[in-house]
Structure 1
Amino acid sequence: MDYKDTLLMPKTEFPMRGNLPNKEPVRQQKWEEENIYEKGQERTKGRPLFVLHDGPPYANGDLHIGHALNKILKDFITRYKSMTGFSAPYVPGWDTHGLPIETALTKKKKINRKELSIAEFRKMCAEYAMGQIDNQRTQFKQLGVRGDWDNPYITLNKNYEAAQIKVFGEMANKGYIYKGLKPVYWSPSSESALAEAEIEYHDKRSPSIYVGFEVTDGKGLLDGGEKVIIWTTTPWTIPANLGISLHPKFDYVVVKVENEKFVVAQDLLETVSNELDWENPEVIKTFKGQEADKIVTKHPFYDRDSIVMLGDHVTTDAGTGCVHTAPGHGEDDFYVSKGYGLEALCPVDDKGIFTSEAPGFEGLFYDEANKQITEKLEEVGALLKLTFITHSYPHDWRTKKPTIFRATSQWFASIKDFRQDILEEIKRVNWYPSWGETRLFNMVRDREDWCISRQRAWGVPIPVFYAEDQTPIITEETIAHISKLFAEHGSNVWFEREAKDLLPEGFTSDHSPNGKFTKETDIMDVWFDSGSSHEGVLVGRDDHRRPADIYLEGSDQYRGWFNSSLSTSVAVTGKAPYENIVSHGFVLDGNGRKMSKSLGNIMSPSKVQKQLGSDILRLWVSSVDYQADVRISQDILKHVSEAYRKIRNTFRFMLANLADFNPETDRVNVSDLQEVDQYMLHRLQQINKNVRSGYDKFEFSTIYHQVHNFCAVDLSSFYLDFAKDILYIEAADNAQRRSIQTVYYDILTTLVQLLTPIIPHTTDEVWEYIPGTKTSVNVQLTDIPDPIEVFDNEELPKKWDHFMSVRDDVFKALEEARNKKIIGKSLEAKITIVAKDENTKEVLNGIQNLHQLLIVSEANLSEDSNGTTGYRFVDVKVEKHPGEKCERCWIASETVGEDKEHPELCTRCAEIVKENY
């Protein structure tokens, strides 16, 4: 007889290799054909609603790894919620307006805007955006992200635009919207105003100049002829200078250097002296800033005055304490000058070119004018020093080119009018990580106004009309009418029709006696677009509600979508649009560097999918501390792939050992399970609790480590290992064998369900191989089981926890014996164990089949420590077993040969064979 034929060896067709790059697309197609998302929503209908509101990515270009991190994190949450008692819809969205699409058409597609009307160009922008959405949608689905992909929300959709107009109208109705002239961030490269959220900082090399402004009227404080010294890194703003700001409470000094007199802040005298190479400057007068109010100086090269003004914004952190003030190019400058009745002078046009208001520099680009202006200052004797510095400077986040401050007439949302309400809501929201609250709170606390107008073509128009006397018209009637028109025709109707055809029929205004009206040509900031999604989506869809349970985006969205959504929502409802904010960091390469084409370190999601599969990428997402910046590289993914293989092989082993198990007929009741099996079922419940807690707290790395360690330590190194001696050797219906199979089944099904939100392609595949009617339904359409209490007695899990520690001691002894060549494999060993304490003795005496659990041929308990080696809990003696190896179970036994019919077998195996074969 071939004894191999009498063994119940593992059997499964579940493949060892995942072959994910080839199999995932097939499985995704199957999900689509079976309408898995729709079935999931139908299955959970009537359950409590859990709304994760998707922050819309911009519809331009292929996905980068940051997109993948973001969407996969969201998928973890909605999949988990749908499997734990909630209805969790996921409606993806896209942001579609703005400069990048305009640029893509004019530069990449070579579209000549001058040959097209605005309406025609906008239609081309819309078509381009929809094409980009199709491309990105396909790539998101390839990541395994489940959602209502056929019905996304898109900011260019008619209903969405109509809802956005309602938000604008409600804010206007409350008095929060106004038009005014003030300096704003201006991008010459985009030819448009920018909001703070559209600014990023990069290093820039700039000239650093000290300039003297000669006093012409000292107002009795100064004699005249003194030079007030200013310092600036923007010489190009000198043509717009109208004054010099001093702090009213600072001490200032008049110093004599050779034959000239200069004015600087007393605290900065030493710094300025070093910068200007002054030797022994003589202080001849000291005064408070407030005493110098309205002293007159002369502009260095124009025939006009530059007035000394008082301002609390002046500091002594750098410079001279006397601040060059150009109200057309700085917010503090603007407000200080306004208090002195000075109108903003802004001699720079939309493209950053000097106008005729800057004689001598007309036609020059502002940055190029730095040199000529500096030369002019030197020519007139006003330039005291010129150097160059590299400093952090605001740039347009789209074009990556420097911005300027420029006073223009813009539309603003007055955040300060409801700022306190926003701050109260920030305190109410839950933040993950907690520092997010402080970050957004500080941003809002100092915020005055939000510039919401942009000088572009592709966007939602600002729905304002102008009367004949240029009075802006924003009424409830006009807003309601425009919203209705947009819902019917889309926002392009604004550019297709004349103002009179856009106004409600019969509309009149006292400001237009002749019945003539014009319309605003600016569009809204794209952050107003996406920031209105709480109205367009949360209120606009039946499967959503406001507030959403969670917004989850990158940490850059504190100044972006988190901020704009909060501002518009509090403005119109008084409440935040979200209950929880979760933010994630940026994805860096393996060395912690930002990914860029120049460095050649970009890793695209599609590349990872083609090489390793989406489930590996998803498992990587679960493994990282995403709330900080995270790293990805081939080496990192290699480690994740190894963890994946461990999990997959664990599943495969359990599947193979359930080949003859029918959960309907072969299950063993929990109370009848072997004690070690009860313990492993107890460990499973602990894992279930910990994993669910990880999901609930959005701590996905907890899940990764819990499951990986459970598979690698509890299962592979213990439960799956020792159980082979029972599963393979005993008869099919052996009680001990069925007990183990029952727990294998529960471990397998529970782990598969727990991991379905993370690696759905793999768990879907595993589920198809699990025996029993339970698995006839797709695993995504099941609920994760609630943890159960396995032990009534708290002492039992403690007993087995302690045994696992004792087992570690024994394994150390076996390893040392192997190194000394006393034994080869552990089944060659006979061990003697001496407990060091009463608890350990009690634990070991209460465990049956000790040799099986320790995977040795014989294990004896003794009181005699002679010949043993000491460890933490036990002394252990390892000997080579004197018996022969059984040809069937490979255990060394002195009973081999006792059975005359099967002399190659131990008596245990001989009995099994005779009874069953």
Structure 2
Amino acid sequence: TAIVAKERLEAVLKAAGLQDGQYTVSSPLPGSRLERLRYKHPFVESNPTDKDAWFAINAQYVTTEDGTGIVHIAPGHGVEDYQAGIQYDLAIYSPVKDDGTYDDSVPSWLVGKSVLQVDPEVIAHLNRIGLLVHEEKIVHSYPHCWRSKMPVIFRATEQWFISVGRPVERFGKSLRNMALEQIKQVQWIPAWGQKRIQGMLESRPDWCISRQRSWGLPIPVFVNSQGRALLTKESVLAVARHIGKKGSDSWFADSPQEILGQDFVLPDGFSWEDLQKEENIFDVWFESGCSWHSVIEMAGMPIPVDLYLEGSDQHRGWFQLSLLPALGARGIAPFKTVLTHGFTVDEKGMKQSKSAGNYVSALEEINKYGADILRLWVASVNYQEDMRCSDELIGRLQDAYRKIRNTLRYLLSNINDFVPAEMAVPYAQMHIIDRWAMDRLEELIGRVRQAYENFLFHRVFSLLYNFCTVEMSSIYMDVLKDRMYCEAADSPARRSGQTAMYRILDALIRLLAPVLVHTAEEAWAAVPYKSEPAESVHLATLPEADTAIDPAVDAAMWQQVMALRDEVLKVLEGLRKEQTIRSNQEAAVRIVTPDEATIAAVERIGIETFAALCIVSEVQVEKGDSFTVEAQKSPYAKCARCWNFWPSVGQNPEYPDLCARCAAVVQKNSGF
């Protein structure tokens, strides 16, 4: 008679090679009816344990996807089997020795043989005694050691545990409950980290803190021949003092009396002659989980620390196993903020490793591109996800780096004759375009500081990069060239622009310093007048927003102005493609719009300022029924100095090829 799950009957009959007429099928029974049904082991004659065995039990983890629907269990060799064994009061039997071979409690033909190599012998034995129904090779998932790549053998052994469910006497709560309360007080970055660790804490078992290794940090326990453990506050402190003086190796070399001290008073039931040292060592996670004490508290600093930083796999590891010791010893979490990051993968999304040869060498990248390029790549990626990393991807950041560096160089080159303490122009008296630049700077400072505080480094990168390439390079620095190069050196308009550039440069260098450490240091050294008396930019503070400047006041106006500028630039691009003009400065623009707000915005900044913003020689704005932008080549002559096409060119007979502005500047510089 064979008992088979109804859903597996057809597969079992096929595997056994049974045809119709060679078998009969009884009426089905629920599995619960089979509970406690006794059976005879196929080749073990007597029960090797001191508890009952060889009867059927019920378990939820048995499936009907394969096999017969009935499985054997080994409570000493698997978590689910262990739990089932506890439920049915079975012996936690583990006949496998430390070297992976069977001990003397198994049949003689298996004694001393490797667990991983006896399958053929077991199959042959079943065949000899007529109990083998079917033999087949299958492919299935099985845990392997990540280092040796060998299959893992699960064994139940005696270990030391820290209970997470038992109340801690000092606090009246279990470590689990304390942890679930404390994680709500911690900032988790990303925010989903809190739910992740919460789920792990809710379901985690007691913490096994012992390991069987040849060397490590010893568990400070002594045992006698009756199995009683000596583990008291006094004994632990005595061991700590001894190891503090002689190192952890002394545990393995010295006797219990030498470790505890000649004057140590043993509790009743213990004697020096009958005292052995515990051979197990601490789980290394217990050691690293106490780093908040060994690194911070022992240095005289308080906990919680500001930040714990590690990979996303450490919710189960370092984060959780630092939290539990701190709660047990201090009653508080050891950290204020916990940040987790993804892992670097190759361009195909595969895990990087030395064995696969698909990893990127940081030193090689630094030698090839420089440290700041590598740092810029690190800052540019969203570390909250796995990050694709390759030489090509890192190399792409060279262009972004050059644009940022060129922005700094442009700003530096235009303030060489500027002394801030003597020449700075107050914000209220600045040219309106300079006030626009200062408004954008204030927004940048606030957003970048917030991004740094929230550890959003990829946002820091995008904010600074876009500011350099869009607001600065594409707009402001292009517009400033006329004032910087053509106005009188000490003119209010030029000093206004220099004031803005100095403040932008100063803020940019300090905002970039945490990422582009070498470039920022080089730029800081090149600034002749520094905002702070710091020899290194890394000793300076991050810039703070100027509360006297409110970018929101003129935000709506500038939005209208910039939208109108975009429309003008589209028309000018068409003229350049048609080769009607070679540069925007050759153009005269006429704008007709029914929108009074747009007209008011242009009038407020000034028609000449709007022309400068578009880098054209002339702009006319009129009210009309529909919106149109027209542009044509200017009818005026070109100024040989500023290259603008203005009606004042040639009006001064002494300078027939210059506009009135340039003629006045040249005349002043000539001393006339």
Normalising to structure 1: TM-score of the pair? Answer: 0.67
1: CA distance, partners of 2:292 / 2:11: 52
Alignment-derived partner of residue 462 in structure 1: 219
* Equivalent position amino acid for 2:604 in 1: G
Does structure 2 retain, via aligned residues, the 8 Å contact 1:553–1:584?
yes
Per mean C-alpha deviation after superposition, the further-off stretch among 788-797 and 447-456 is 788-797
Identify the match of residue 144 of structure 2 among 387, 395, 400.
395
* Equivalent position amino acid for 2:588 in 1: K
2: CA distance, partners of 1:895 / 1:364: 105
**In the alignment, does 2:580 pair up with 1:822?**
yes
Count of residues in Structure 1 that have an aligned counterpart in Structure 2: 649
Does structure 2 retain, via aligned residues, the 8 Å contact 1:465–1:517?
yes
Alignment-derived partner of residue 890 in structure 1: 643
Alignment-derived partner of residue 57 in structure 2: 310
**In the alignment, does 2:616 pair up with 1:856?**
yes
The SS at the match of 1:551 is: strand
Does structure 1 retain, via aligned residues, the 8 Å contact 2:306–2:336?
yes
The SS at the match of 2:287 is: helix
* Equivalent position amino acid for 2:26 in 1: I
Does structure 2 retain, via aligned residues, the 8 Å contact 1:551–1:578?
yes
Distance 1:273 1:741, change over 3 A: farther
**In the alignment, does 2:42 pair up with 1:296?**
no
**In the alignment, does 2:544 pair up with 1:786?**
yes
2: CA distance, partners of 1:449 / 1:817: 76
**In the alignment, does 2:342 pair up with 1:594?**
no
2: CA distance, partners of 1:403 / 1:308: 28
Per-residue CA deviation, residues 579-608 of structure 1 (Å, 9 max, x unaligned), is 221100000112222223454321111111
* Equivalent position amino acid for 1:263 in 2: I
Identify the match of residue 379 of structure 2 among 592, 598, 622.
622
Per-residue CA deviation, residues 428-452 of structure 1 (Å, 9 max, x unaligned), is 4332122222222222322223222
Alignment-derived partner of residue 104 in structure 1: none
Alignment of 1:34-433 (within 5 A): 226=1, 262-266=2-6, 268-269=8-9, 283-304=25-46, 307-316=54-63, 318-319=65-66, 320-358=68-106, 359-417=108-166, 418=174, 419-433=176-190
1: CA distance, partners of 2:147 / 2:321: 18
Does structure 1 retain, via aligned residues, the 8 Å contact 2:594–2:624?
no
Does structure 2 retain, via aligned residues, the 8 Å contact 1:886–1:892?
yes
1: CA distance, partners of 2:588 / 2:252: 90
Per mean C-alpha deviation after superposition, the further-off stretch among 894-903 and 336-345 is 336-345
How far 1:893 sits from its partner (Å)?
2.8
The SS at the match of 2:55 is: strand
Distance 1:612 1:276, change over 3 A: farther
The SS at the match of 2:54 is: strand
How far 1:354 sits from its partner (Å)?
2.5
1: CA distance, partners of 2:567 / 2:239: 78
**In the alignment, does 2:334 pair up with 1:574?**
no
Per-residue CA deviation, residues 350-407 of structure 1 (Å, 9 max, x unaligned), is 1212333333233332222223223333333333334344444323344443212112
Per mean C-alpha deviation after superposition, the further-off stretch among 546-555 and 894-903 is 894-903
Alignment-derived partner of residue 206 in structure 2: 449
Per mean C-alpha deviation after superposition, the further-off stretch among 275-284 and 722-731 is 275-284
Distance 1:373 1:576, change over 3 A: farther
Distance 1:503 1:792, change over 3 A: closer
Alignment-derived partner of residue 750 in structure 1: 507
2: CA distance, partners of 1:809 / 1:362: 88
Alignment-derived partner of residue 419 in structure 2: 662
2: CA distance, partners of 1:541 / 1:274: 71
Per-residue CA deviation, residues 764-784 of structure 1 (Å, 9 max, x unaligned), is 111111121435412212222
* Equivalent position amino acid for 1:370 in 2: D
1: CA distance, partners of 2:18 / 2:605: 90
2: CA distance, partners of 1:476 / 1:688: 54
The SS at the match of 1:832 is: strand
How far 1:416 sits from its partner (Å)?
3.4
Alignment-derived partner of residue 916 in structure 1: 669
**In the alignment, does 2:455 pair up with 1:698?**
yes
2: CA distance, partners of 1:329 / 1:690: 56
Does structure 1 retain, via aligned residues, the 8 Å contact 2:594–2:623?
no
How far 1:313 sits from its partner (Å)?
4.2
Distance 1:431 1:274, change over 3 A: farther
The SS at the match of 1:395 is: coil
Distance 1:455 1:702, change over 3 A: same
How far 1:526 sits from its partner (Å)?
0.8
The SS at the match of 2:632 is: strand
Identify the match of residue 489 of structure 2 among 726, 732, 737.
732
How far 1:840 sits from its partner (Å)?
1.2
How far 1:340 sits from its partner (Å)?
4.4
* Equivalent position amino acid for 1:708 in 2: Y
Does structure 2 retain, via aligned residues, the 8 Å contact 1:469–1:512?
no
Identify the match of residue 810 of structure 1 among 568, 572, 589.
568
* Equivalent position amino acid for 2:597 in 1: N
1: CA distance, partners of 2:550 / 2:384: 39
The SS at the match of 2:294 is: helix
How far 1:667 sits from its partner (Å)?
0.5
Alignment of 1:599-678 (within 5 A): 599-678=356-435
User: Radius of gyration: which is bigger?
Assistant: 2
Alignment-derived partner of residue 169 in structure 2: none
Q: CA RMSD in A?
A: 2.4
How far 1:515 sits from its partner (Å)?
4.2
Alignment-derived partner of residue 876 in structure 1: 629
The SS at the match of 1:665 is: helix
Does structure 1 retain, via aligned residues, the 8 Å contact 2:506–2:531?
no
Structure with a larger share of its residues in strand: 1
Distance 1:422 1:401, change over 3 A: farther
* Equivalent position amino acid for 1:856 in 2: V
Alignment-derived partner of residue 520 in structure 1: 278
Structure 2 regions of 5+ residues with no counterpart? 48-52, 167-173
2: CA distance, partners of 1:395 / 1:424: 36
2: CA distance, partners of 1:566 / 1:371: 48
Does structure 1 retain, via aligned residues, the 8 Å contact 2:595–2:623?
no
Per-residue CA deviation, residues 147-178 of structure 1 (Å, 9 max, x unaligned), is xxxxxxxxxxxxxxxxxxxxxxxxxxxxxxxx
* Equivalent position amino acid for 2:206 in 1: D
Alignment-derived partner of residue 535 in structure 1: 293
**In the alignment, does 2:186 pair up with 1:437?**
no
If asked which structure has higher relative contact order (CA below 8 Å, sep 6+), I would say 1
2: CA distance, partners of 1:276 / 1:718: 82
1: CA distance, partners of 2:149 / 2:594: 70
Distance 1:450 1:395, change over 3 A: farther
Distance 1:711 1:881, change over 3 A: same
**In the alignment, does 2:231 pair up with 1:482?**
no
2: CA distance, partners of 1:354 / 1:880: 96
Distance 1:825 1:782, change over 3 A: same
The SS at the match of 1:383 is: coil
The SS at the match of 1:830 is: strand
Does structure 2 retain, via aligned residues, the 8 Å contact 1:395–1:402?
yes
The SS at the match of 1:550 is: strand
Alignment-derived partner of residue 21 in structure 1: none
The SS at the match of 1:396 is: coil
Does structure 2 retain, via aligned residues, the 8 Å contact 1:678–1:790?
no
Does structure 2 retain, via aligned residues, the 8 Å contact 1:682–1:789?
no
Per-residue CA deviation, residues 83-117 of structure 1 (Å, 9 max, x unaligned), is xxxxxxxxxxxxxxxxxxxxxxxxxxxxxxxxxxx
Per-residue CA deviation, residues 684-721 of structure 1 (Å, 9 max, x unaligned), is 11111111111122211111111111111100000000
Structure 1 regions of 5+ residues with no counterpart? 1-225, 227-261
* Equivalent position amino acid for 2:99 in 1: K
How far 1:270 sits from its partner (Å)?
5.8
How far 1:278 sits from its partner (Å)?
6.5
Instruction: Give percent identity, aligned residues only.
Output: 38
Does structure 2 retain, via aligned residues, the 8 Å contact 1:509–1:515?
no
How far 1:457 sits from its partner (Å)?
2.6
How far 1:289 sits from its partner (Å)?
3.6
